[in-house]
Structure 1
Amino acid sequence: MTSTDSTGMVWRKSSRSGSDTNCVEVAELPLLVAVRDSKDPDGPTLIFSRRSWSDLMALLQSAI
């Protein structure tokens, strides 16, 4: 599922989040990746470089 906010960023929820409301949304930009809490879309947003995001995803996937 995707949504667009007032800045034009397109946010998507994880395909693994299902119908649970406790999930994060991700917006991919040319040089950055933004992450926010789906329950609080106007709240704080974490910003990662694409390299940092890729490293974080690899670390999390290796822990599964």
Structure 2
Amino acid sequence: LGRKNQCRQTEKNDTSSRHQRKEIILNVRITQASEYYQYQKSYQKSVAEPDERFSRRPTSRSTDRIP
């Protein structure tokens, strides 16, 4: 009888720890999605408003062959 109760208690612990793991994984995924969204927003902003450092025209390159 004592052994059955012990098994039931172990099952309860397994179930609750599995549930906790699922919650942790879900929270990690939500965090990753949120970070990705923030990254995407900042990337779109930088494309829409280019930084002055990158607004210079490229230097002209010579097309003549070197003898």
TM-score normalised by L of structure 1: 0.26
Task: Decide which structure has greater helix share.
Answer: 2
TM-score normalised by L of structure 2: 0.25
Bigger CA radius of gyration? 2
Task: Decide which structure has greater strand share.
Answer: 1
